[in-house]
Structure 1
């Protein structure tokens, strides 16, 4: 369901009703006459829909985390807010950038339209920016020939499934974040897709090496052995970007997560 398109249609319809009443029908009604039901409802909904549309399209948008690919940073059931203007102002529905502000940086948690099905929104961490050479070999990350700092910490217990994953603090840029690896998961990437610019990637028995094309990004989930990401389906084009995730505003299963990020 394209909620942005539905919201735009509702805005246009309610706005047309409000304008028609304000500039035409109201002048022709008797002073003591009541408003027709379609005017009462349509015109009263217009300012509410307008506020929601502006907030959601240009400022922040809520999302719910549907899968465990970003564990332990984001858990299934987290409701998050996404900053819609950090990476530039875009036209609603068309997602066409009209004002350039910033570009995604390594380490950002980014929401984007899934390249294989743009009707779906995905969330992953930005690993490689245009021009980077990203190597994920034997579950170790290297960018432009430099190993990404990795500090091993205590194992992570998955409460729902009652098993442990190896846990590390990975540092991209100035900030560290936690990532998980499963000891028994293979290092190679099974069945990668035939995605655009696949020639920029080399697959081997211990992982993948990719050079990120101009205007595209390489992303990965923090739950490294349980995430289908750029290693499998390729790069995220700039035009698919939705925004930067920054805040957990609700989790019905764990209220302590409210106000945090990871």
Structure 2
């Protein structure tokens, strides 16, 4: 067995030190750029407040656009890493603009933390309570598990008392299977970002006219997804509800 000579080992240590020095230099530059970005974000927030804009600062379509551009510019960048880093930056910016109230079920809590990190308060509620909170809260986002046979919260959205509450995004934003783990809902209209998925709920027999893929059903109602964007003002058949739209990177 050949043992490394002291000279070779010394050279390897020197190379390792040089690599670490290079990483330290990059870390310093990253810290400078993050501080610069945060300063610009604070300036934007201040400008909005000066103009009297105190509304919902959450812009899911804009976030998806940012990630898509980043990955297009840097194809060697790991998508999941990029999403995690930029989600943290964006969440910190939203917190600086007044913060968000994040409500979630215990099952979906990991995906709420992935989406908003520690920058916003997170409360654990039942799915029904989370939907009501999203309806009533000006800055509230409900993170609920992806609908399946055992998850029927989407049926509640057929009730008129929850009108205006829509799915607007998904978590995680990168899902290799095309199916996220959780959906993010708020009392606002969905925004088109390109390559959007629309969710419709309503009577099973009526929804067949829309085609698409049936995700699940509860009694006489079903939930389907379509590979297109539906504006909230789109005309739908009686009994059909726009649950919302989301996009993945």
Please, what TM-score do these two structures have when normalized by structure 2? 0.23
Higher strand share: 1
Please, what TM-score do these two structures have when normalized by structure 1? 0.23
Higher helix share: 2
